[in-house]
Amino acid sequence: MPNEGSDYTLKDRYLDLVRDSIMGLIHPGQYRPLLRKPAWYRPLAGLLKRVDLELVRPAHFDVARRLEGKDWPVNAESMLSRQRLDNIRFCLESVLRDNVPGDIIEAGTWLGGAAIFMRAVLQAHDIKNRSVWVADSFGGLPPADTVKYPQDTGDTHSTFLDLIAPFEAVQENFRKYGLLDSQVKFLPGWFSETLEQAPIDRLAVARLDGDMYGSTIESLNALYPKLSAGGYCIIDDYNLSGARQATDDYRAAQGISESLVKIDWTGVYWRKER
Ligand SMILES: C[S@@+](CC[C@H](N)C(=O)[O-])C[C@H]1O[C@@H](n2cnc3c(N)ncnc32)[C@H](O)[C@@H]1O
């Protein structure tokens, strides 16, 4: 909640406002669209549309669950908890302070909120020589490739319609915050096809939010070698078995001994030492 102390600067106020807005805390949605229309509703839908009506469900906003990032928010650009968004600011300000070279990336962005917040942090610090890369299929998660990644057997993320965020909607979200500019670079497509080839020289912060084993290991394989010493690797979904297993496998294979730091009930990060 707002801090009224004298060390609570205009920069803090701006970043807290952007954070709380992308979390949907300021104008929480009251109604949730029906992504899967029940069969009985389909014949009615056309009729209702003609009189500009549609069937929605009450959203039942629960501020405590929203703060913890444990819900499917309605009127939000990010599903992250406040602690995970504050962690983004912490990591970015740390690399800026320590002059750790490189850009910032979020792999798995949904409606773009966390990446919008990254761009806001750069803007608040008047940083002009770093970009925010935004990687996503902009069409949801891939079906589990269990031949390549048996660890994803039984994963159903690809069926979640709520996780589909079209490219145009994400761009529009950046634009709404006044943060769509040449320092934001999009990588549309599957991680397996975009991340290795992306024209990224170096990274200072890599935030991986792909939920599944395959998506997380592909992000780590492609991006971690580009992370500068002193940079941060953030894993959003360490409570999900796929993402946790991929993180543990990659760290073991690469001999990464830097300790994992817990952000909240699911997010973790570590700072690359060498
Ligand atoms: C949980 S959401 C990300 C949440 C987001 N970071 C936020 O702030 O709310 C996961 C995202 O990862 C994307 N994704 C997962 N695996 C992917 C893959 N292999 N290739 C491309 N996009 C992927 C999905 O499309 C989805 O938008």
Kindly give the confidence (pLDDT) of every residue in the chain, 274 residues in length, as a single tens digit, with 9 standing for 90 and above.
456 677 999 999 999 999 999 999 999 999 998 888 888 888 888 899 899 998 899 999 999 999 999 999 999 999 999 999 999 999 999 999 999 999 999 999 999 999 999 999 999 999 999 999 999 999 999 999 999 999 999 999 999 999 999 999 999 999 999 999 999 999 999 999 999 999 999 999 999 999 999 999 999 999 999 999 999 999 999 999 999 999 999 999 999 999 999 999 999 999 999 8
Q: What is the CA radius of gyration of the chain?
A: 19
**Atom 12 in ligand 1: which residue has the minimum CA distance?**
108
Q: Which residues line ligand 1 (CB under 6 A)?
A: 78-80, 106, 108-110, 113-114, 136-137, 140-142, 163, 165, 190-191, 209-212, 215
Give the Cβ contact number of residue 33 at 10 Å.
Answer: 14
Cα distance from N-terminal residue to C-terminal residue, the chain: 37
User: Which one of 77, 80, 109, 111 would you pick to mutate in the ligand 1 pocket, going by the greatest count of ligand atoms within 8 A of its CB?
Assistant: 109
Distance between CA atoms of residues 91 and 270, nearest Å: 10
CA of 6 to the centre of ligand 1 (A): 38
pTM as predicted: 0.96
* Domains along the sequence of the chain with CATH: 82-271 (3.40.50.150)
Q: How would you classify the pairing of strands 227-235 and 268-271?
A: antiparallel
Rounded to the nearest whole angstrom, what is the distance from the C-alpha of residue 39 to the centroid of ligand 1? 29
Strand order in the sheet with 268-271: 184-188, 132-136, 103-107, 203-208, 227-235, 268-271, 261-262
Beta strands in 49-165 (DSSP E): 56-58, 103-107, 132-136
